[in-house]
Amino acid sequence: MEKELIDIADYFQMKKYDDDFINFITFRKPTIQSSSMEPSSKKIFILNDDSTDDEKLTMFYETTMKAKKFIDDAMNNYMKNKKKIKNKNKNKLKNKKNLYPITLLSSKEFLDTIMLQLKSLNRLVERDSSSNWLILPLFIVANQIFKIFSQLKDQVTHPNLKFNINSIPDCNKLPIKTKIVKEFLEDCARNIHRSFSLCLNDKNPNLRKNKKIGIILFSNLEFKIYHKLQNKDMIKNLIKVLNSNNVLTQQQQQQNAVNNADLTTFYKSHVVMFNYFMGQYYGCYESDFNLACNYLNNALMECPDPKKIIITSPSTINSIWRRLLILLIPFTILTRKTYPNLDYILNNIFINIEDNHAKEIKDIFHPIIQCFKTGNLQKFDETFKQNEYFYLENGIYVAMTLIRELVFLKLIKNCYKIWLTINDGKNNKFVIPLPFLLIGYLKSLGAQQELIQQIVVADDNDSASGSHQEQQQSSAHPRGQRETQTRYKNKKQLPMTSKETRELILDEIECHLANLISKNYIKGYLSHGNRCLVISKTVPFPKLATKNG
């Protein structure tokens, strides 16, 4: 086999990379196809003797070569062992996620080496003040070490992950091991942040050569690593930096100025991801649903149209739709008062309607949308309870709780419509007695007719059966909506006299209505003394649904 020598120093002279350079910096992927057993290339990467004086370049070259050797050895060993066991147990070895062998990650020397590789490349980028040719290679290097360190974090409990660090006694006890891994990841974050800062602070007036073009790439990487570290404060700091630099506008300007294919090849997917992370931050951490909605909608709009682009990995893209929609749907309901057309989404956005990601979106949001349209509080509360963990895991718990208010509003509107048909032509049709809304409210919470009757027509002397028992059980009045609700669902559990219950629930309704009036969702006022809601004769319920984007 003929070998070709490739001098890495040449690239730094020419300030240009090609496929060979990318191959040089890229580690062998942990795939278990047999083809990767073959020597990775006929090409041999060298550094000419003149460059040995260049400390930074030498360091980068050497760490890269060393890391590659580590990976090659580990992968080859892994393959050999795998082949032996393969015949015995095929299923166990299914490596879906393509992970590096755990022995590789146990080597502190390897981990230090890849960290040094990133550090030395950062220094080379810093030194080169007049061009941005190294930004994409830097991103590739940073991204691959991020992936290795996040695999390390995911597998920290793996029994075969054993460090051999003399200076740290008991370094394989889980708490210590976890700490070491966390420190590695934090160090990795610091170095990636360094890359980010190099991009952010480039003052080069020539936009074609300005490193700012890498900001989005490295921001996304920072978002990912802070999520991995579960460090909300770092995300907050990052957003602060991004906002104060007006990054998005600048990026757009630069994007327009740069026509070469260099970094733009990475562009769209990163724009989507960046908008997603921004939206996630504002919606899930800051409860600024409006801003979140804008970002997430932008993210979705920048996505490829599955009808036009053939996507090789449908399940990956479906998982991306799922992530986007889980946040975008509740935030849109909340801020725009519009709801998604699930049929359209399932048939036109998702690839393969039978996909689990698509099914999940339907399962989670279909019942909620129904309640949003009908004002069915009981169904809403039930669904909420069933999916509580899902909401928490995905950061939409707060948003979902706030949607309840809109379900209540829809209920009031529905009651009002019925009120109008009953009182058609009468003068007082703009004065709605609260006891009328009380019936609707109780019905919506799933109360039986018998109970509704009992509460609604209760007079002062009434004492409901079973109420005495209840009073013994709870001396205090029940607090909290859910509690009250479960209480008056069942006749036998009435905590107070029917009259008391009625007054309590009327107060509750007044509170909800007051909130809706203060938000301008209802035009009108409450008369507490007369227990009625007086609504505007012209526009009692202003139109709330607004267009997205």
Partner 1 sequence: MSTNSTTEKDPATNKATELDTKPNTNTTTTKKTLEEDDEFEDFPIDTWSEKDTLKNVDNIQTHLWVENWDDVEVDDDFTNALKNELERYKQEETQ
Q: With CB under 8 A as the contact rule, which of the stretches 29-37, 488-496, 507-515, 528-536 interacts with partner 1?
A: 488-496
Site for partner 1 in 400-439 (CB under 8 A): 410-411, 414-415, 417-419, 422, 436, 439
Say whether residue 538 binds partner 1 (CB under 8 A): no
> Sign (positive/negative) of CA torsion 476, 481, 483, 489?
positive
Least CB distance to partner 1 at residue 356 (A): 5
Instruction: Return d(Cα 372, Cα 498) in angstroms, integer.
Output: 30
Least CB distance to partner 1 at residue 117 (A): 21
Least CB distance to partner 1 at residue 61 (A): 27
Site for partner 1 in 181-210 (CB under 8 A): none
Instruction: Return d(Cα 159, Cα 173) in angstroms, integer.
Output: 10
Three-state SS for 97? coil
Strand ranges for 192-283 from DSSP E:
none
Instruction: Return d(Cα 372, Cα 431) in angstroms, integer.
Output: 25
| Amino acid identity, position 426 | K
Q: Which long-range contacts (CB under 8 A, 24 or more apart) does 319-323 make?
A: 319/357, 320/272, 321/345, 321/349, 321/350, 321/357, 321/358, 321/361, 322/357, 322/358, 322/360, 322/361, 323/276
Site for partner 1 in 373-402 (CB under 8 A): 373-376, 379, 382, 385-386
Least CB distance to partner 1 at residue 339 (A): 5
> Sign (positive/negative) of CA torsion 134, 135, 137, 142?
positive
108, 194, 209, 489: residue in contact with partner 1 (rule CB under 8 A)? 489
Backbone angles phi, psi at 474, to 5 degrees: -130, 110
Q: With CB under 8 A as the contact rule, which of the stretches 69-77, 103-111, 223-231, 530-538 interacts with partner 1?
A: 223-231
246 Ramachandran zone, left/alpha/beta (phi>0; psi -120 to 50): left
Instruction: Return d(Cα 282, Cα 289) in angstroms, integer.
Output: 7
Cβ closest to partner 1, residue 247 vs residue 327 = 327
Run of H or E residues at 449: helix 449-456
Q: DSSP letter at 496?
A: S
Cβ closest to partner 1, residue 236 vs residue 489 = 489
Q: Distances in Å between the alpha carbon of 531 and those of 263, 432, 462?
A: 66, 9, 20
Say whether residue 349 binds partner 1 (CB under 8 A): yes
Nearest-5° Cα angle at 388, 383 to 389: 140
211, 357, 502, 531: residue in contact with partner 1 (rule CB under 8 A)? 357
Least CB distance to partner 1 at residue 344 (A): 5
1, 5, 44, 545: residue in contact with partner 1 (rule CB under 8 A)? 545
Site for partner 1 in 329-348 (CB under 8 A): 332, 336-341, 344-345, 348
Instruction: Return d(Cα 480, Cα 377) in angstroms, integer.
Output: 15
Least CB distance to partner 1 at residue 13 (A): 28
Q: Among residues 35, 30, 33, which one has the least CA distance to residue 74?
A: 30
Least CB distance to partner 1 at residue 218 (A): 15
Query: What would the x/- binding string for partner 1 be over residues 293 to 312, using CB under 8 A?
Result: -------xxxxxx-xxx-xx
66, 228, 491, 523: residue in contact with partner 1 (rule CB under 8 A)? 228
Say whether residue 323 binds partner 1 (CB under 8 A): yes
Query: What would the x/- binding string for partner 1 be over residues 237 to 276, using CB under 8 A?
Result: ---------------------------xxxxxx--xx--x
Least CB distance to partner 1 at residue 87 (A): 27
Residues across the chain = 549
Rounded to 10°, the helix 174-200/108-127 angle is 10
In the chain the first and final C-alpha atoms are separated, in Å, by 58
Least CB distance to partner 1 at residue 163 (A): 25
Cβ closest to partner 1, residue 74 vs residue 181 = 181
Binding-site residue total for partner 1 (CB under 8 A)?
89
Site for partner 1 in 493-512 (CB under 8 A): 493
Least CB distance to partner 1 at residue 55 (A): 34
Cβ closest to partner 1, residue 54 vs residue 382 = 382
Least CB distance to partner 1 at residue 112 (A): 25
Backbone angles phi, psi at 502, to 5 degrees: -60, -45
Cβ closest to partner 1, residue 115 vs residue 345 = 345
Query: What would the x/- binding string for partner 1 be over residues 68 to 87, using CB under 8 A?
Result: --------------------
456, 514, 517, 534: residue in contact with partner 1 (rule CB under 8 A)? 456
Say whether residue 459 binds partner 1 (CB under 8 A): no
Say whether residue 359 binds partner 1 (CB under 8 A): yes
Say whether residue 101 binds partner 1 (CB under 8 A): no
Instruction: Return d(Cα 20, Cα 114) in angstroms, integer.
Output: 19
Instruction: Return d(Cα 143, Cα 154) in angstroms, integer.
Output: 16
Q: With CB under 8 A as the contact rule, which of the stretches 79-87, 176-184, 205-213, 371-379 interacts with partner 1?
A: 371-379
Q: In what order do the strands lie in the sheet with 532-535?
A: 431-433, 532-535, 524-527
